[in-house]
Structure formats: C-alpha cells, structure tokens
Chains A and B, each alone.
Chain A
Amino acid sequence: MGDCILLSSQAKVTCSSSMMAFSQSQFSGILFTRKLLVSQNMLLRKQNIATTGLTRQRLFSTCPKRKRKDSLVTTASVASPATTSRPFSSAVHVVQQPMTLTEKILAKAANRPFVKPGENIWVNVDVLMTHDVCGPGTIGIFKREFGENAKVWDPEKVVIIPDHYIFTADERANRNVDILRQFAREQNIKYFYDITDRQNFLKNPDYKGVCHIALAQEGHTRPGEVLFGTDSHTCNAGAFGMFATGIGNTDAGFILGTGKLLIKVPATMKFVFHGDMPDYLLAKDLILQVIGDISVSGATYRTLEFSGDVISQLSMEERQTLCNMAIEAGGKNAVIPCDATTRQYLENKTQRPYEVFQTDSNASFYSNREYITHQLEPVVAKPHSPDNRDLAKNCSNVKVDRVYIGSCTGGKTEDFIAAARILKDRTVKIPTFLVPATRQVYDDIHRLSIGGRTLVQIFQDAGCIGPAPPSCAACLGGPKDTFARINEPLVCVSTTNRNFPGRMGSKDGQVYLASPYTAAATALTGYVTDPRQVYDFSKEHRSAYSLVDSAS
C-alpha cells in the first residue's frame, strides 16, 4: 500500500500505550506541547529510569515558555529517544550491511546504521523547498496546526522560490507571492527569492526562476542530504547524490513545524548506461527511453539510480534532466552518485560540508536494466503520456504548430546551447518559444556565443520568440495569459516533462516531449524531425560547453 502508511503499528492503541510504543521503537519525530511533555515524561520515567534524565532534559530544554495566556502552541520541539540515538558513522554501514546510495542517505537522516526497503522511518530534513503554488497552502496548514505565532523549525533550511505564476495579471497568483513574502519576513526565512517588479524581472536582484534549477544554482543541493519540496519534480536534485522527492502541503506543513517526516524506504531500480553517448543524443532521450520501457507507473514507490560510463561523462545539467523525470515513471526519487563533476559544480556554490555516499557493490536492487547507449536514437513521447515513446524519425509526418523550449527539464543553459547549435544560421518555420529556467540561464543566453554570435542573436536570427522572463510559464499551462500557453488545440513539440491532456493549456492540444535537439530540428521543418536529418553531428560526443566560443 505504499509509503503513505504513517504511524504504522500504533494505529489502534490508546494514547498512553502508543506513547510507549513510540518511545521504544524508532519514533523520533513528534510534536510536543507542554501537556504532552508531561505525559511523555511520566511514561519515560516508568519505562527507563536510566535514560530518563537525559531525555527529560532534552525535552524540557526545547519546551516553549508561555508568555501570554492566549498564545497558541508555538513551538514544535522534537526529541530523540535516548535509546535510538546512536552515533552515526559511514564506516558502520559498509561493515554491517550492503546498502544502495538512497538507503545510505536515508539511514544517515534517520540516525540509523542500516535501513532496508519497505521500512517506515522518520528522517531529519536538510532542506524544505516550496513555491508560490503550494507554499500558501503549506503555510496555511502550518499555521492551523502549530499556531499563529509558531516558528518554522529552522529558517535557514526553508527555501522559498516563487516561480510558477509570476508574469501574469491574475490577482490571486500575485497574491500568492505576497503571502510567501509576508511569511518569509515574519519567519526570517534566509533563502527567499523574491520578485516585486513584474514589469521588468531584471530589476529583482533576488529573483531566480524555476525552483529546481534555482536550488542547484544557489547551492542548496548537497550530496548526502535530504531535500523535500512541494513539487513533484523535486527529484531533480537527486543528480547531486542526495535524496530528494516531492510531497504534498500537509506533509510540508508538518516539516515546517518539526523538521522531520515519516517515509518509506524505497527499493532501488538500477539503470546502467554503457558505451558512448552519441553526439545526437541528449539526456532527455535517455530518460524518455527509460520511461517508455518501464511505463509511467513502472517505478512507483521506487528509486531510479543511474550509473555507467555514460552517466559519469554527463554534465550536472544533463544529470538533472535524467533525474527530473523520474516522477514521470512514478518514481519516488532518482539518484546519481556524487563524483568529481558534482564536486566541481558545487565548488563555489556551497560552503557547507557534505557527505558523499556510494552504492555498495553487493547492495541488492529491485531491478537492473542496462543500455548500450550508442544504439539508442532520438525519441519523442507522443500525446498523451510520457511513456508513449516513439523514434523521432517515425513521427516525421506529424505536422507541428509550435515548439517550446523551457522548464526545469529542458530550459537550462545547456538545453539552449543545444538548440542554438541546430538553429544557427537558419530560420524556424513555426513559432518557437524560449523560456529560460532561471535568471542565470537568461544571462547565459546573452553571454555565451557560438561562432561569434551570442545565443540570443542566434535565436533572434532564426526568428524565435523570446527569451521570456524565467519561470515555469507554459510547461503546466497556468493562468490564461501565461507566455506560450496553448490556448487552442495546437500540436506542440516541447522540451518539458509532461504531456497529459491539458498539461500546457488546451485539453485538445497535443504535446510531443522531445530533447532540445529534436525540438530545434522540428522548429526548422514544421514536422517532428530527427535532428540527424537537419544537422551533421560529430562522430564523437560534444559536450555543450565545448560548442560555445571559449572567450565567452
């Protein structure tokens, strides 16, 4: 029945015995109020005199003092039962039991030497991310449950990124960003990437854009940590060798108050990409291949772990593209082990130390799937499902009305380099919309050049529309006035992540998911096009940054 099962075996016991059960078992994240502290303390005293002193001290040290008579429950303090807090050491893992990367991260977060798939564990949260769509609801639940004056468990661990509905006249959408701002001020949230001037986003020094890419670019994605976000594509951050997954508002509200969450340990599905990456393929082709193979529910409740020669050659942005779409296979999270590429990316982005885990060679997997990468070809996901895979060349008779390049999946700097590579010195036949994921990407498009022309010049020469201000934009439809939203029954080839009915606006629209190469090639012909038909690729794989002028 999945990982929803909270509070497992204590479901039907009475209050006092459930407290006992939690004290004895692994339960370590509970919300205490003064009243409860007393009863907890009494129970502990009965149960284990030797450890009570310590626990009591801990409990009371975190107990809020009541200043006003009418104050609500203000603090959710979390106490770890003395019996379960063992010192953590990664060396212990290796000796005791083989584990996968995900299992090791979760074991660390749960203060346990070992976890296995299917176990329900409480984990400490390193980062909670929310945005303008789910943030207001999360805040509402937090205030309702913890009190109007409650404080978040750690204002430095909450990251709030408005990104979904920003450049719209929709009053409610604008109000939702205001709610985030008010909350960030009230709680002293350190990482709030605000936008106030909607007319000119460049005037907002803090504004970033799409949350998943902003998280990475701002150094919030650190190997070995646990990241939850109120967005299903939070699994994007697994590219950094961390555990990252999407949750609902209620769970997020719980984390805001406690810094903990009960989750089920997922079994790991292994995907190994052998051989060499052909020049005409991008990570998007690999993940669409995987989803097509295992279906949109093939990884439900499970981890996707990517490894192999090809993966270690991929850049961080390409790795994010892979992990980003794990949710499209139903996956809980995706991971790629941290290596030199990861460290290099993070070098100037975070000062915090992080712990690097590797999957043990004898760890057990739910499944193991291997690919000979150079045998793969550019693919698309046809309407109306991300697993409706077909070779791009098989769809060459599909007439396309527009192309969209953007989103967390396909709107990163390297995605635009790829598109520019194809579009340089050519003209698009159909409207081609560009939406950089973040401000950084927007700046890169203006800064980087190929053959002496900046990317933005290449796009303008080709007749593209944009680049628009960075945001989620039409990837998920959004308010009617959203840039590039499909308001009529159009056929769109898109570098985004979902193509269910109505995803980009009109229910009668048809969305083909594709790599930036395929999308750009399609823009040139007006039909779904295999990029090899319009561009002469190299024999060897060229990384994105090897394509741009070195001076830029």
Chain B
Amino acid sequence: MKASLCFVSLAIPKVRQPKSFSQICRSLCTLSPNKFAARKRSFHRGTILCSTKSMEQVSQVGKKRDGDLIRGKVFVVGDNIDTDQIIPAEFLTLVPSVPEEYEKLGSYALFGLPEKEYPIRFVEKDQLHTNYRIIVAGHNFGCGSSREHAPIALGAAGAVAVVAKSYARIFFRNCSATGELYPWESKEYLVDHFHTGQEAEIDFRRNIIRNLVSNKEFELEPLGDVLPVVDAGGLFEYARKSGMIARSKE
C-alpha cells in the first residue's frame, strides 16, 4: 500500500521539457485518472509536485454515505481533543491537496493521543486506514490550531462522522468546508455510553446514534445546513451543485 511518490526536487528540473508539459503536471493539482494514465511519470520544470494518484482514488469526499444509516465501529475519546492530538505538527509538512500526501495524512490520524490513555490506536501501525468509522468525543473536540489537516486526516483514514458534545469553532467549520466529516453534536455526553470497538449506527433521518451493543439510542442535534454541504463534498462542491458557482470546473 506504500504510495509511490514522484516529487521533483528543485535540483532535478534542469532537464528541459517542452512547454506543453506545464499543462501536464500541474503543481498541487489533481488529474483525473484517465488523463493521468498516459503520463505516469511526468516531470515539469519549475513545478515542484507531481502526482501518480488522483484525488478520486484516495478520497471519499462527496461519497461519505449512500443512505440514511451509517454503521461502524466507534472510537471513543475524551474532552478537549486538540488538533495536535488529531494530527501532530510534525506531519503538517504533508500537503493535503496532493493525493499521496492526503493518504499519508490519514495514516497519522489521532496519532497524537497519548498511548497510556489510548492503548488502542485509531490507525494501526503501518496501515493507511482506520477500523473505526465513527468517533465519539466529549467537549470541545478539535480545539487548537486552524489546520485543515485535522478533519482531513480523520476523513482520509476512513472516518465518516464525529459525534461530540461540542466542537471548537474552526474545526467544525473545516469539517463542512472540506466535506470530510459529519460533525454531529450529541444532546447528552456520550463518552460514558460507548466503548471503543462497539458497533454503532447513526440514523440521519431521525437524528440519533444507536449503540448496537447496549441497544441504547441517543439523540443528536440536527446537522441543519451543514448536512447538504458535507453530502455534496465540501464548500466548493456544494456551491457548484446548488448553482452558486458554475457546475463544471473546466
């Protein structure tokens, strides 16, 4: 599963390339898979990045659910889980708009949780993805930095929803801006009602989360206008789908 990278360091691009290459290897920009097929290794003068994968291959944004129920194992964390615990600063050199690095960010999701308190890891060693689709948290989830890497890391790892008692402002906004996570708010403090590894189900129609082990249901605050934005795949996709901006990117 190791991503093969083809970064062109600044030292290499002495190799002269035809001008048209600038259209081929767009810095920091993803290419659709069919476009890319013919250009597996493209080097571009002056551009720093090339991608061998497309964003569609690595990201589930815009396809986070296909019905009103999402089901999966929960990962339970406490209060004030800050962005340094969600994605430690040493991994912020990864640029989320580059597919390989996006994928890599996912492998470090919640890496900063202290092992003593969280012996079970959210993403197992040497894995890119998590076994837990739902994160149950207490107060003020996502506090700290404004880094968008935080919701992206969780989403890239395969998480679909967070159910927290409350959120930090920027993290909450980044969830919908990126379309990476459904940021549900629970009416009750749920940390004591779930254990990591238990199966749970979120009902988007009834706004509830059910613990499938204890079979208890808990009410959630409606997502409101955030729901269609995450459904669409983030701020820009939503704006496009709702006609605020032109539908086609090109």
A→B interface (CB under 8 Å): 1-8, 10-16, 18-19, 22, 30-33, 35-36, 70, 72-73, 133-134, 136-137, 139-141, 143-145, 147-148, 164-165, 170-173, 175-176, 178-179, 182, 229-232, 234, 246-251, 253-254, 296-297, 300-301, 327, 330, 332, 385, 476-480, 498, 500-503, 505, 507-508
Q: How large is the interface on B (under 10, 10 to 19, 20 to 34, 35 or more residues)?
A: 35 or more
B167 touches A2 (CB 8 A): yes
Which B residues are in CB contact (< 8 Å) with A248? Answer: 146-148, 170, 173-174, 177-178
Neighbour of B146 across the interface among A5, A19, A147, A232, CB < 8 A: A232
B242 touches A18 (CB 8 A): yes
Is B107 part of the contact surface with A, judged by Cβ < 8 Å?
A: no
B97 touches A296 (CB 8 A): no
Is B46 part of the contact surface with A, judged by Cβ < 8 Å?
A: yes
Using a CB-CB cutoff of 8 Å, which residues 156-198 of chain B contact chain A?
166-170, 172-178, 183, 185
Which B residues are in CB contact (< 8 Å) with A479? Answer: 90, 93
Q: B113 to chain A: closest CB distance in Å?
A: 8
Neighbour of B26 across the interface among A143, A234, A250, CB < 8 A: A143
B97 touches A137 (CB 8 A): yes
A179 touches B146 (CB 8 A): no
Taken together as a complex, chains A and B put the C-alpha atoms of A508 and B117 apart, in Å, by 11
Taken together as a complex, chains A and B put the C-alpha atoms of A503 and B94 apart, in Å, by 18
Taken together as a complex, chains A and B put the C-alpha atoms of A165 and B147 apart, in Å, by 15
CB nearest to A232 among chain B residues: B146
B27 touches A296 (CB 8 A): no
Q: Interface 1/0s, chain B 87-112, versus A by CB < 8 A? A: 01110111111100000000000001
Can you offer 19 A-B residue contacts whose CB atoms are under 8 A?
Answer: A1-B223, A2-B169, A6-B238, A11-B242, A33-B245, A73-B250, A133-B89, A133-B92, A140-B97, A144-B29, A165-B92, A231-B146, A250-B178, A251-B173, A253-B236, A300-B169, A500-B85, A501-B85, A501-B114
Q: B103 to chain A: closest CB distance in Å?
A: 14
Taken together as a complex, chains A and B put the C-alpha atoms of A143 and B47 apart, in Å, by 13
User: Known contacts A231-B146, A250-B235, A330-B168; is A501 also within 8 Å of B242 by CB?
Assistant: no
Is B199 part of the contact surface with A, judged by Cβ < 8 Å?
A: no
Taken together as a complex, chains A and B put the C-alpha atoms of A147 and B29 apart, in Å, by 9
Which B residues are in CB contact (< 8 Å) with A143? Answer: 26-29
Using a CB-CB cutoff of 8 Å, which residues 1-25 of chain B contact chain A?
7, 9-10, 23
Q: B55 to chain A: closest CB distance in Å?
A: 8
Q: A119 to chain B: closest CB distance in Å?
A: 14
Q: Interface 1/0s, chain B 105-136, versus A by CB < 8 A? A: 00000001111100000000000000000000
Is B224 part of the contact surface with A, judged by Cβ < 8 Å?
A: yes
Q: B82 to chain A: closest CB distance in Å?
A: 4
A477 touches B89 (CB 8 A): yes
Neighbour of B112 across the interface among A3, A73, A147, A507, CB < 8 A: A507
> Which 5 residue pairs spanning A and B have beta carbons closest together?
A140-B97, A15-B243, A140-B28, A246-B146, A250-B177
Known: A133-B89, A232-B144. 19 other contacts (CB 8 A): A1-B172, A2-B172, A4-B172, A6-B176, A7-B238, A32-B246, A139-B27, A143-B26, A172-B94, A175-B49, A175-B93, A232-B145, A232-B170, A251-B177, A296-B80, A300-B166, A477-B90, A503-B89, A507-B113
Taken together as a complex, chains A and B put the C-alpha atoms of A348 and B250 apart, in Å, by 46
A147 touches B249 (CB 8 A): yes
Taken together as a complex, chains A and B put the C-alpha atoms of A478 and B88 apart, in Å, by 8
Is B140 part of the contact surface with A, judged by Cβ < 8 Å?
A: yes
Using a CB-CB cutoff of 8 Å, which residues 44-73 of chain B contact chain A?
46-49
A478 touches B226 (CB 8 A): no
Taken together as a complex, chains A and B put the C-alpha atoms of A179 and B27 apart, in Å, by 9
Q: B119 to chain A: closest CB distance in Å?
A: 13
Taken together as a complex, chains A and B put the C-alpha atoms of A182 and B176 apart, in Å, by 29
- Contacts between the two chains (Cβ within 8 Å), count: 241
Taken together as a complex, chains A and B put the C-alpha atoms of A171 and B112 apart, in Å, by 22
Neighbour of B239 across the interface among A7, A136, A234, CB < 8 A: A7
User: Known contacts A179-B27, A249-B148, A480-B90; is A141 also within 8 Å of B239 by CB?
Assistant: no
Taken together as a complex, chains A and B put the C-alpha atoms of A8 and B7 apart, in Å, by 41
A134 touches B146 (CB 8 A): yes
CB nearest to B151 among chain A residues: A248
Which A residues are in CB contact (< 8 Å) with B82? Answer: 498, 500, 503
A141 touches B89 (CB 8 A): no
Is B30 part of the contact surface with A, judged by Cβ < 8 Å?
A: yes
Is B244 part of the contact surface with A, judged by Cβ < 8 Å?
A: yes
Q: B27 to chain A: closest CB distance in Å?
A: 7
B169 touches A175 (CB 8 A): no
Neighbour of B80 across the interface among A31, A164, A500, A508, CB < 8 A: A500
B85 touches A140 (CB 8 A): no
Q: B24 to chain A: closest CB distance in Å?
A: 11
A508 touches B145 (CB 8 A): no
Q: B244 to chain A: closest CB distance in Å?
A: 6
Taken together as a complex, chains A and B put the C-alpha atoms of A464 and B19 apart, in Å, by 53
Is B143 part of the contact surface with A, judged by Cβ < 8 Å?
A: yes
Neighbour of A31 across the interface among B114, B229, B239, CB < 8 A: B239
A140 touches B98 (CB 8 A): yes
A171 touches B139 (CB 8 A): no
A332 touches B245 (CB 8 A): no
Which B residues are in CB contact (< 8 Å) with A6? Answer: 176, 225, 229, 235, 238
Is B155 part of the contact surface with A, judged by Cβ < 8 Å?
A: no
Which B residues are in CB contact (< 8 Å) with A145? Answer: 236, 249
User: Known contacts A33-B245, A178-B48, A507-B115; is A3 also within 8 Å of B9 by CB?
Assistant: no
B48 touches A478 (CB 8 A): no
Taken together as a complex, chains A and B put the C-alpha atoms of A15 and B244 apart, in Å, by 7
Using a CB-CB cutoff of 8 Å, which residues 214-250 of chain B contact chain A?
221, 223-226, 228-229, 234-236, 238-239, 242-246, 249-250
A477 touches B46 (CB 8 A): no
CB nearest to A480 among chain B residues: B90
A297 touches B166 (CB 8 A): yes
User: Known contacts A175-B48, A332-B169, A502-B114; is A297 also within 8 Å of B225 by CB?
Assistant: no
Taken together as a complex, chains A and B put the C-alpha atoms of A502 and B90 apart, in Å, by 10
A249 touches B235 (CB 8 A): no
B9 touches A5 (CB 8 A): no
Which B residues are in CB contact (< 8 Å) with A500? Answer: 80, 82, 84-85, 144
Taken together as a complex, chains A and B put the C-alpha atoms of A505 and B244 apart, in Å, by 43
